[in-house]
C-alpha cells in the first residue's frame, strides 16, 4: 500500500555524553521515511529543504522507494537546522539552536500523483501545516497517524486540538500526554486524549517502552534494554516510521496488527539510538531487524501455563 | 513446598497526596507473607515484634498458613515503626520517623521445626541479620531470594556484598542497581551485580515494570497501568512475596517459571498500591488474582505472525 510521510528533512548538530557531531542529516520526515522503507517500498514524502541539502541523501531516499515529487527544494534558502545537547541521563536535552529557515513559511504541496494515498503519517510540524495536508487530500487515507510535541501545546493548543480531532492515531510521549490531558495517570490521560478525537493513542516512554490504547484495550511494548544509548535523536520518529511502515505494508489496522507494528517500531528505535543520527539506519538489513524482533519476543513473551515442574 | 520469610513485622504511618494514616500494620515480612499466602500455604516466618503488636494480625497470618514459631514477641518492648511522606509523583518519599525498637538488637532464632525449609526469602533487613539466617539453616534451601535497599549500600556495603554472595536471586530497584554496580545502563549493571554472586537478578522499576536477568537471558514484565496509585508502601515486598510464593508452590526454578512468578508478583503489587497499607491484600480473592493475570496477558501478549489481513 502507499504511504505518505509529512515531516521535516533537516540538519541537526548533536552533543551527547559520548560525543558531538557537526551538521548531520536529521528531521522527522527523514527518520520516518528511512525507517518505514524497511517495510513499505511505495512511499511518498511532503517536505521542504534549501539548496544546501546534500543530493546524496535525496538519492538515498529515492533508492529505498520514496517518491520525492512532494519534496520542495527552495533555491537560495537554507534547510531547517536544530542543535541540542543531551544531559547525562539521555532522557532530557537542551535546545541550543533552532533555525526554521525554509520551514518558516512552509506551504505543503500535494502533487496530483499523491492523491489517493492509502496511509498518512504527520511528523512533528506546526498543527496548521499538518491539518492543511489532511485537507488537501481529496480522499481520506485509511489511517492517519500524527506525532506532535509539547512546544505546540505551549503555543498553539487550539490549533493542535483541531488537528488531533482529525487523526486516527496520536503518537506522543508520556510528558506530552500528561500536559495535553492535565492528568498524571496515563490511564486517565489516555481517556481524556481519545475523547479529543483519535481512536488510538500511543504513549512513548523512551527506555520504558510504549503503550497503545484503543477502546478498553491496552497493550504495552517494552523497550529493548541496551548496554549503551549513544544518541536518542530521531528515536521517536524512527519508532513512528517502523510502526506506520509495518501497518502500510500489511494493510491491516486490527488491534493485533497494531501490536506487531509497535514491536517493529520499537525494534527500529532500538537501532536508531546506537549511533549518531541516521547512521545506524543506513547500515542495518532486514535480517538485523528480524533478529532484533526475536529479542523482543524473548524479552516480553511468557506463558502462564506451567508445562514442566522442576 | 515450605517457604521461610525473614523480614520486619512493623507499624507504618503513611502520608500520600490522597490521605494520611495513623499507625497501621506494615513491614516487609508482613507484606511478603500475606502476598505469598495466596500461593503457598506452608509458610514460616522469622521476625520480631513488641508486645504492642495486635494479636489480630498474628491470627490473620496464622490463618493463611504462616507458622509463627519463629516470630519473637518481646515483652515490654515496642514494635519497629516507620513513618514517611510520598511526593506528588508517588515515586519518591521522605522518611519522617524511624524507630528501630525491637529491631535494634534483633537476633533471628530459627526454630528446630523450620530446619529443612525448601525456599527462603530475606526481606529488607541489615545484611548481617540476613546472613545469620542463611548460616543458621543446616541445609541450604533450594532457592534463596533477597531484597535490600540503598540504605545498606550507604552504611554497610561490605557486609551487604558478603550476604549478596550467598543468595540466588537478588531483588532491588533500578536506582539501587545503579548504586550497587556503579553503572547507569541496567544491562551493564546486571552483569556487574551477577558477578557478585546471584545467578538471578530482578530489577524493579515501579510503574515501569520489572526486569529479570539470568545468564544471557532477559525478561521484562510490565506493571499494570492503573488509574490511581493510592499508596506504594509495601508494593516491592508484595511483589517479592507473590514471586517467591509462586516459586515455592510450583517448586520449579526454571527461567520460564520465574517469568510466571514475576507476572504473579506484579499482579500482587498492582493490588497493594490500590489502598493504604495491607488493606487491599486482606480483601482480595484468588479469583481476583486470576482476573488480573488475564489483564497482564492481554497487556503484554503479542503474536508476530499475522493471521488475518485488513
| pLDDT one-digit tens code per residue, B292-307 | 999 999 999 999 988 7
Cα atoms in the Cβ-side hemisphere of radius 13 Å centred on B124: 21
Eight-state DSSP code of residue B96: E
Instruction: Please indicate whether, in this complex, the C-beta atoms of A218 and B298 are within 8 angstroms of each other.
Output: yes
The 10s digit of each residue's pLDDT in A51-68 is 999 999 999 999 999 999
Q: Is residue A101 part of a domain?
A: yes
Interface check A229 vs B, CB under 8 A: yes
Q: Cell triple for residue A282?
A: 543506513
Instruction: Please indicate whether, in this complex, the C-beta atoms of A256 and B302 are within 8 angstroms of each other.
Output: yes
- Best of B178, B192, B302 to substitute, by most chain A Cβ atoms within 10 angstroms, is B302
pLDDT reading at B152 higher than 80: yes
How far apart CA B184 and CA B194 sit, in angstroms, is 15
Contacts of B149 (CB under 8 A, 6+ apart): B124, B172, B176
> How many other CB atoms are found less than 10 A from the CB of residue A222?
24
As a whole number, mean pLDDT of residues B121-137 equals 98
DSSP code per residue over A253-291: -SHHHHHHHHHHHHHHHHHHTTSSTTTGGGT--HHHHHH
Q: What is the pTM of this model?
A: 0.94
Interface confidence: ipTM more than 0.85: yes
How far apart CA B279 and CA B19 sit, in angstroms, is 14
How far apart CA A152 and CA A148 sit, in angstroms, is 7
How far apart CA B47 and CA B45 sit, in angstroms, is 6
Instruction: Please indicate whether, in this complex, the C-beta atoms of B218 and A304 are within 8 angstroms of each other.
Output: no
CB contacts of A251 in chain B (<8 Å) are 309-310
Q: Cell triple for residue A36?
A: 518505514
Q: Cell triple for residue B73?
A: 514477641
The dihedral formed by the CA atoms of B277, B282, B285 and B291, expressed in degrees to the nearest 10: -10
Query: What band does B18 get if pLDDT is binned at 50, 70 and 90?
Result: confident
- Best of B203, B206, B211, B220 to substitute, by most chain A Cβ atoms within 10 angstroms, is B220
Q: Is residue B310 part of a domain?
A: no
Closest chain A residue to B253 measured between Cα atoms? A310
Question: What pLDDT does residue A179 have?
Answer: 97
Contacts of B65 (CB under 8 A, 6+ apart): B37, B40, B41, B42, B43
Question: What pLDDT does residue A89 have?
Answer: 78
How many angstroms separate the CA of residue A254 from the nearest CA in chain B? 7
pLDDT reading at A308 higher than 70: no
pLDDT reading at B178 higher than 90: yes
Question: What pLDDT does residue A234 have?
Answer: 96
Interface check A255 vs B, CB under 8 A: no
Contacts of B131 (CB under 8 A, 6+ apart): B159, B162, B163, B166
Q: Helices (H), strands (E): how many in chain B? A: 10, 15
The 10s digit of each residue's pLDDT in A144-187 is 999 999 999 999 999 999 999 999 999 999 999 999 999 999 99
Q: Give the closest residue to A4 by CA, choosing from A137, A153, A198.
A: A137
* Under 8 Å between Cβ of A122 and A8: no
Q: Is residue B307 part of a domain?
A: no
Query: What band does A309 get if pLDDT is binned at 50, 70 and 90?
Result: low
The 10s digit of each residue's pLDDT in B274-298 is 999 999 999 999 999 999 999 999 9
Interface check A1 vs B, CB under 8 A: no
Instruction: Encode burial over B194-223: b for 16+ CB neighbours within 10 A, e otherwise.
Output: bebebebbbbbbbbbbbbbbbeeebbbbbb
Instruction: Please indicate whether, in this complex, the C-beta atoms of A226 and B187 are within 8 angstroms of each other.
Output: yes
Provide, rounded to the nearest whole percent, the portion of chain A with pLDDT above 90.
Answer: 93
Question: What pLDDT does residue B209 have?
Answer: 96
Q: Is residue B282 part of a domain?
A: yes
The 10s digit of each residue's pLDDT in A224-279 is 999 988 899 999 999 999 999 999 999 999 999 999 999 999 999 999 999 999 99
Interface check B252 vs A, CB under 8 A: yes
Interface check B188 vs A, CB under 8 A: yes
How far apart CA A61 and CA A47 sit, in angstroms, is 13
Count of structural domains, chain B: 1
* Under 8 Å between Cβ of A111 and A129: no
Q: Helices (H), strands (E): how many in chain A? A: 10, 15
Q: Cell triple for residue B28?
A: 516487609
Mean of the per-residue pLDDT values for chain B? 96
How far apart CA A169 and CA B241 sit, in angstroms, is 39
Closest chain A residue to B228 measured between Cα atoms? A185
Q: Cell triple for residue A240?
A: 513512528
* Under 8 Å between Cβ of B179 and B203: no
* Under 8 Å between Cβ of A185 and A211: no
pLDDT reading at B255 higher than 80: yes
Question: What pLDDT does residue A306 have?
Answer: 81
Q: Give the closest residue to B309 by CA, choosing from A254, A168, A144.
A: A254
Query: What band does A92 get if pLDDT is binned at 50, 70 and 90?
Result: confident
Q: Is residue B239 part of a domain?
A: yes
DSSP code per residue over A76-139: T----EEEEEE-TTSS-EEEEEEE-GGGTT------GGGTT-SEEEE-SS-HHHHHHHHHH-SS
Question: What pLDDT does residue A18 have?
Answer: 85
* Under 8 Å between Cβ of B236 and B265: no
Q: Is residue A305 part of a domain?
A: no
pLDDT reading at B240 higher than 50: yes
Contacts of A250 (CB under 8 A, 6+ apart): A257, A260, A261, B306, B309, B310
Question: What pLDDT does residue B310 have?
Answer: 47
As a whole number, mean pLDDT of residues B147-172 equals 97
> How many other CB atoms are found less than 10 A from the CB of residue A30?
31
Residues in chain A: 310
Question: What pLDDT does residue B309 have?
Answer: 54
How far apart CA A168 and CA B272 sit, in angstroms, is 35
Provide, rounded to the nearest whole percent, the portion of chain B with pLDDT above 90.
Answer: 93
Instruction: Please indicate whether, in this complex, the C-beta atoms of B89 and A260 are within 8 angstroms of each other.
Output: no
- The domain that contains A39 carries what CATH number? 3.40.1190.20
How far apart CA A22 and CA B262 sit, in angstroms, is 45
Residue located via cell numbers 525554509: A102
* Under 8 Å between Cβ of B30 and B56: no
Domain range spanning residue A251?
A: 3-300
Q: Is residue A32 part of a domain?
A: yes
As a whole number, mean pLDDT of residues B39-65 equals 97
Q: Is residue A230 part of a domain?
A: yes
- Best of A188, A302, A306, A308 to substitute, by most chain B Cβ atoms within 10 angstroms, is A302
Amino acid at each position: 500500500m502507499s504511504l505518505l510521510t509529512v515531516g521535516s528533512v533537516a540538519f541537526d548538530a548533536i552533543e551527547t555524553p559520548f560525543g558531538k557531531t557537526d551538521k548531520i542529516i536529521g528531521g522527522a520526515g527523514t527518520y520516518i521515511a528511512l525507517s518505514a522503507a524497511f517495510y513499505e517500498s511505495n512511499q511518498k514524502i511532503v517536505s521542504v529543504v534549501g539548496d544546501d541539502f546534500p543530493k546524496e541523501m535525496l538519492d538515498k531516499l529515492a533508492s529505498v522507494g520514496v517518491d520525492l515529487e512532494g519534496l520542495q527544494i527552495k533555491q537560495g534558502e537554507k534547510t531547517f537546522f536544530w542543535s541540542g545537547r543531551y544531559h547525562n541521563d539521555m532522557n532530557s536535552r537542551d535546545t541550543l539552536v533552532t533555525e526554521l529557515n525554509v520551514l518558516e513559511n512552509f506551504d505543503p504541496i500535494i502533487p496530483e500523483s499523491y492523491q489517493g494515498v492509502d496511509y498518512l503519517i504527520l511528523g512533528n510540524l506546526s498543527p496548521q501545516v499538518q491539518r492543511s495536508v489532511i485537507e488537501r487530500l481529496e480522499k481520506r487515507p485509511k489511517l492517519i497517524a500524527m506525532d506532535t510535541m509539547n512546544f505546540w501545546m505551549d503555543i498553539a493548543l487550539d490549533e493542535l486540538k483541531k488537528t488531533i480531532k482529525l487523526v486516527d492515531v496520536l503518537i506522543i510521549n508520556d510528558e506530552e500526554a500528561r500536559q495535553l490531558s492535565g492528568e498524571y495517570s496515563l490511564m486517565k490521560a489516555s481517556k481524556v486524549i481519545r475523547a479529543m478525537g483519535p481512536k488510538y493513542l500511543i504513549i512513548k516512554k523512551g527506555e520504558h517502552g510504549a503503550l497503545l490504547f484503543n477502546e478498553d484495550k491496552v497493550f504495552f511494548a517494552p523497550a529493548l534494554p541496551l548496554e549503551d544509548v549513544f544518541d536518542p535523536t530521531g528515536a521517536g520518529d524512527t519508532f513512528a516510521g517502523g510502526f506506520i511502515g509495518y501497518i502500510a505494508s500489511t494493510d491491516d489496522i486490527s488491534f493485533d496488527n497494531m501490536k506487531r507494528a509497535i514491536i517493529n517500531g520499537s525494534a527500529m528505535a532500538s537501532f536508531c539510538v546506537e549511533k549518531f543520527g541516521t547512521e545506524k539506519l543506513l547500515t542495518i538489513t532486514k535480517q538485523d531487524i528480524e533478529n532484533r524482533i526475536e529479542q523482543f519476543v524473548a524479552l516480553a513473551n511468557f506463558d502462564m501455563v506451567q508445562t514442566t515442574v522442576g
